[in-house]
Chains A and B, each alone.
Chain A
């Protein structure tokens, strides 16, 4: 088990591609070249989508948005280990994982532009809509995975949250229940070093977040969160174990949020430029690109083409989202219950009439 070698109690961290591009050959997984390239292209696409969303917010075209820049590896690495029927239960900063698992860009831009319709993911996409109250999705993931287990399906559930989320009751109660019920759940803590302004050192006195799993009776491992391969390898072991009935795993993905908490935040108030510069040098896209180039899977031409394609797709899909018709009055009533109760039918009629009399809206 990897967590024996990379014991979180000793503060050890799994890394395969070093910051300088050197590869630990002993731990390097043999992944299909096509898969590796698609993963990198998805990271490029997510980076472009993220930057676009921030720009659109600055232009007043969409609402508050939580940037993902710097966390692309942290999001996609674990998801590479999932099979087609596995679930992802995200928080609100999982853009790259969502794109990888088939959530269309249009949906994502629609949602961030302020329309719930973006959350109506296509059939077969086994991702639940983003959850904003920090950590609340963790117990959901335990329940989703319990249901799969009860039916005897070999399906696992992966949930994402942040270092801040690890202080919430939902984290502790969720991991505790998962340990007791031995559910096939993989907990991905994206430790991006800050919960808005609060640094990781003030979030918990534990040496690592990964070690918290030990208290709940299952393995935890800290992984370099900017290293796609290390994340994949840790997650693959966890996914295989969960699928085989071995229960949950906590993976602490040690990464950094290069952007603000949301577009309403100003990270310069609580962290300094030197730190940012240090982490910018560890950009997960650069590291993965160097790895692919060294393997002969990538080059300058592919990079240019891929970046161009990502930009035009993002422009296209975000424009579609902005051009999308806004919800109608009926739409805000329609999904409160499966069948609209008579009281709500009456309120809808009243609102309709009242708005008509107002002559606007």
Chain B
């Protein structure tokens, strides 16, 4: 075990997998000599050289387009896009090709590609640097969408993503990059994609979230527990394909659910989770499912961000509402 923050854990996962598997390559803007704008690829260029850690031109669509070609021809590319807000250049390649080539070729070709990108607000950033549009990707059949919440999670899930035979959008919560340090397994270590994580057992209400929301949910749970409410917390970890069973089992037990995401409300993943609870656990519900989300507005610049961003008090109030319904 080594104590790491999330950026270090991601770098460590990449180094471990690149050493183990010569077909893994890393490519993107400033990922080489600069070690990435967040330093997630630091040291890889020195260790694996410029042919496996490729500094590309400023060309997001082509970074992903070329990664698709590499993946069809035996490599396992890990493409870094500097911010989720710049991944929209790549949507055409992700939707039209990465997600479909397996289906298009009737399984003859696959695209084992990982698109790594930081996402999320709460970091006082420029416009386009605070997006949380995971639902865009989750709507696309053929893609997997994974969001780690902690350093250990990031390492285990990233190695699984690289080994996955299908394309994975790996969203790294910018806010958590250096927020938490924890012990992380050294060397080879995986956490399976498609399984949610029960962070904490509880009896009265289930709070479901992912990524940057997890520490905030944990703060809210502490407040609720101080008022005598027992909170069960689920970290979804994989947005798509979703682990519905873990959510449903928990809600059947507690009878109440609060879904938390920093993305806008309409068409968000919270709507999907709420629908699945309605379909599978309606008669267990003691209150309507609450969604704690951003409003359907553009992410404000830092001066207005506090109105937009989910905090522990908003989650705590939602927990109180479902408890007193």
Which residues of A are at the interface with B, using a C-beta cutoff of 8 A? 87, 89, 116-117, 119-121, 128-129, 131, 133, 136, 138-148, 150-151, 157, 169-170, 173-174, 176-177, 180-181, 334-339, 341-344
Shortest Cβ distance from residue A326 to the other chain B in the assembled complex, whole angstroms: 14
Interface residues of B in 137-166 (CB under 8 A from A): 141-142, 144, 165-166
Q: Is B67 an interface residue (CB 8 A)?
A: yes
The 9 closest A-B pairs by CB, nearest first: A143-B69, A139-B65, A341-B241, A173-B62, A143-B66, A147-B73, A120-B106, A140-B69, A144-B69
Q: A337-B102, A337-B166 are in contact. Are A89 and B69 (CB under 8 A)?
A: yes
**Do residues B54 and A139 form an inter-chain contact, with CB atoms below 8 A?**
no
**Beta-carbon contacts of B66-78 to A below 8 Å, as 1s and 0s?**
1111111111010
**Do residues B59 and A176 form an inter-chain contact, with CB atoms below 8 A?**
yes
Q: Is B103 an interface residue (CB 8 A)?
A: yes
Q: A120-B106, A170-B61 are in contact. Are A148 and B73 (CB under 8 A)?
A: yes
**Beta-carbon contacts of B249-284 to A below 8 Å, as 1s and 0s?**
000000000000000000000000000000000000
**Do residues A146 and B70 form an inter-chain contact, with CB atoms below 8 A?**
yes
Interface centre among A140, A148, A176, A181 (most CB of B within 10 A): A140
Chain B: CB-nearest residue to A338: B165
Q: How far is the CA of A174 from the CA of B93 in the complex (A)?
A: 12
Q: How far is the CA of A89 from the CA of B104 in the complex (A)?
A: 14
Q: How far is the CA of A144 from the CA of B109 in the complex (A)?
A: 12
Q: In the complex, what residues of B have CB within 8 A of residue A116's CB?
A: 103-104, 106
**Do residues B106 and A143 form an inter-chain contact, with CB atoms below 8 A?**
no
Interface residues of B in 47-91 (CB under 8 A from A): 51-52, 54, 56-57, 59, 61-62, 64-75, 77
Q: Is B25 an interface residue (CB 8 A)?
A: yes
Q: How far is the CA of A145 from the CA of B66 in the complex (A)?
A: 9
Chain A: CB-nearest residue to B99: A336
Q: A139-B93, A177-B56 are in contact. Are A150 and B106 (CB under 8 A)?
A: no
Q: How far is the CA of A173 from the CA of B65 in the complex (A)?
A: 9
**Do residues B241 and A147 form an inter-chain contact, with CB atoms below 8 A?**
no
Q: Pick the contact of A147: B62, B74, B142, B244 (CB < 8 A).
A: B74
Q: Pick the contact of B65: A119, A174, A342 (CB < 8 A).
A: A174
**Do residues B242 and A173 form an inter-chain contact, with CB atoms below 8 A?**
no
Q: A119-B108, A136-B96 are in contact. List 19 more A-B contacts (CB 8 A).
A: A116-B106, A117-B106, A119-B106, A128-B72, A128-B101, A131-B97, A136-B93, A141-B69, A143-B65, A150-B52, A170-B65, A174-B62, A336-B102, A336-B103, A337-B144, A337-B241, A343-B241, A343-B244, A344-B241
Q: How far is the CA of A89 from the CA of B70 in the complex (A)?
A: 12
**Beta-carbon contacts of B107-151 to A below 8 Å, as 1s and 0s?**
111100000000000000000000000000000011010000000
Interface centre among B57, B69, B107, B242 (most CB of A within 10 A): B69
Q: In the complex, what residues of A have CB within 8 A of residue B75's CB?
A: 143, 146-147, 150
Q: In the complex, what residues of B have CB within 8 A of residue A180's CB?
A: 56-57
Q: Is B186 an interface residue (CB 8 A)?
A: no
Chain B: CB-nearest residue to A335: B103
Q: Is B324 an interface residue (CB 8 A)?
A: no
Shortest Cβ distance from residue A147 to the other chain B in the assembled complex, whole angstroms: 4
Chain A: CB-nearest residue to B60: A173
**Do residues B66 and A140 form an inter-chain contact, with CB atoms below 8 A?**
yes
Chain A: CB-nearest residue to B77: A143
Interface centre among B54, B62, B102, B166 (most CB of A within 10 A): B62
Q: Pick the contact of A129: B104, B110, B142 (CB < 8 A).
A: B104
**Do residues B69 and A342 form an inter-chain contact, with CB atoms below 8 A?**
no
**Do residues A120 and B105 form an inter-chain contact, with CB atoms below 8 A?**
yes
Interface centre among B103, B144, B244 (most CB of A within 10 A): B103
Interface centre among B61, B66, B105, B244 (most CB of A within 10 A): B66
Q: Is B46 an interface residue (CB 8 A)?
A: no
Q: Pick the contact of B92: A136, A147, A148 (CB < 8 A).
A: A136
Shortest Cβ distance from residue A144 to the other chain B in the assembled complex, whole angstroms: 4
Q: Pick the contact of B67: A87, A143, A150 (CB < 8 A).
A: A143
Chain B: CB-nearest residue to A142: B66
Q: How far is the CA of A97 from the CA of B54 in the complex (A)?
A: 32
Q: How far is the CA of A299 from the CA of B56 in the complex (A)?
A: 54
Shortest Cβ distance from residue B294 to the other chain A in the assembled complex, whole angstroms: 26
Chain B: CB-nearest residue to A117: B106
